[in-house]
């Protein structure tokens, strides 16, 4: 199993550009999450999904959108990138009963200039 994979690993965007961060997992997990981690800060939940076709907002959803058309994939869309979205983005997944055990992808480092 590859676990949770994320692409790209790094990206530099200009203000106002858009992009999609890709996340995929091959563990058949229903629960998937997107977090952002700013320097010296804890992870903040952006969006999450409890299964294909179901998504919900987390703590910091503004400026982002998600979709979940399959169990495996959970892309995060940034529209009109802003410098405040410069961060490291982590995707994670877990089993239905594994409350505390989230499996994280390697992260995407995004810089908006």
Partner 1 sequence: RKEVEQDPGPFNVPEGATVAFNCTYSNSASQSFFWYRQDCRKEPKLLMSVYSSGNEDGRFTAQLNRASQYISLLIRDSKLSDSATYLCVVNDLNNDMRFGAGTRLTVKP
Binding site for partner 1 (CB under 8 A): 35, 40-45, 58-59, 90, 99-102, 104-107
Q: Among residues 98, 97, 92, 102, which one has the least CA distance to residue 6?
A: 92
User: Which one, 14 or 97, has the nearer CB to partner 1?
Assistant: 97
* Nearer to partner 1 among residue 10 and residue 14 (C-beta): 10
Minimum CB separation from partner 1 for residue 18, in Å? 25
**Which CB atom, from 2 or from 41, has the smaller least distance to partner 1?**
41
State the nearest-atom distance from the C-beta of 102 to partner 1, in Å. 7
User: Residue 82: which residues within 8 A CB-CB, separation 6 or more?
Assistant: 15, 63, 112
2 or 100: whose CB is closer to partner 1?
100
Minimum Å gap between C-beta 104 and partner 1 is 4
Helix (H, G, I), strand (E, B) or coil at 104: strand
CA-CA distances (angstroms) from residue 41 to 16, 23, 30, 46, 87?
Answer: 25, 22, 27, 14, 10
């Amino acid at each position: 199993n590859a676990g949770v994979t994320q692409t790209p690993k790094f990206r530099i965007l200009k203000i106002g550009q858009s992009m999609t961060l890709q996340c995929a997992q091959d563990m058949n997990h229903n629960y998937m999450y997107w977090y952002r981690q700013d320097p010296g800060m804890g992870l903040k939940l952006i969006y999450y999904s409890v299964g294909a076709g179901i998504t919900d907002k987390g703590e910091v959803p503004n400026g982002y959108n998600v979709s979940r058309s399959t169990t495996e994939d959970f892309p995060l869309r940034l529209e009109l990138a802003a410098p405040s979205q410069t961060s490291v983005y982590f995707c994670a997944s877990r089993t239905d009963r594994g409350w505390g055990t989230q499996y994280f992808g390697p992260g995407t480092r995004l810089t908006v200039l």
